[in-house]
Amino acid sequence: MTKPEKSEYGAYYERYVSLVVDTRLMETLAEQPGELHELFNSLPDEKGSYTYDEGKWTIKEVISHLIDGERMFAYRILRISRGDATPIEGFEQDGYIENAHADRRSIAELIEEIRLLREANMLMLRNLNDEDWLRMGTASGLSVSVRALAYIMAGHISHHVGILKTRYLA
């Protein structure tokens, strides 16, 4: 599958779409849970409370944000791919993190949740036909295709893995 055209998503999302190699969408999506597992497999759970600067999320909160993002992107993909033309509202990520209680969870549990979500989402994505991938809808006030949402989903994880590697785990 090729990358979406810029007309299939808002300019803000280029930061995510650009991180996914053109024809490797499904491979990237399939590999990311393992990459996250590898990244955190040997990290002691108490390090999950680390933040690189005041006011920034902890490691556990970043992982919780990835979970929220995975759910939101999948919900948008589901609605738009099924032909639901109702505009989908955005979500306030900081409010979600405040109420996610990530600090009560282990890193292993958070990573397992991402793995399970991604596994279910891969099943949904594999069932889409060519018409479904190109279907357009509205999310967060912007026109977006199902194909773009899948690239955004993958790029969102890649973006945050980069931040985790350079600012949290370096």
Asked whether residue 87 is assigned to any structural domain, the reply reads yes
pTM for the model stands at 0.97
Asked whether residue 83 is assigned to any structural domain, the reply reads yes
pLDDT (tens digit, 0 to 9) for every residue of the chain, 170 residues total? 899 999 999 999 999 999 999 899 999 999 999 999 999 999 999 999 999 999 999 999 999 999 999 999 999 999 999 999 999 999 999 999 999 999 999 999 999 999 999 999 999 999 999 999 999 999 999 999 999 999 999 999 999 999 999 999 98
Asked whether residue 48 is assigned to any structural domain, the reply reads yes
Asked whether residue 43 is assigned to any structural domain, the reply reads yes
H or E segment to which residue 137 belongs: strand 136-139
- What are phi and psi for residue 24, nearest 5 degrees? -110, 25
H or E segment to which residue 144 belongs: strand 142-145
Does residue 46 contact residue 103 with C-beta atoms inside 8 Å? no
- CA–CA separation, 122 vs 74, rounded Å? 10
- CA–CA separation, 124 vs 153, rounded Å? 13
Q: Find tokens 């994880």 and name the residue.
A: 157
Which range of residues forms the domain containing residue 85? Answer: 6-168
Asked whether residue 1 is assigned to any structural domain, the reply reads no
Give CA torsion, residues 82, 97, 110, 4, to 10 deg. 40
Asked whether residue 77 is assigned to any structural domain, the reply reads yes
CATH classification of the domain holding 34: 1.20.120.450
Does residue 166 contact residue 41 with C-beta atoms inside 8 Å? no
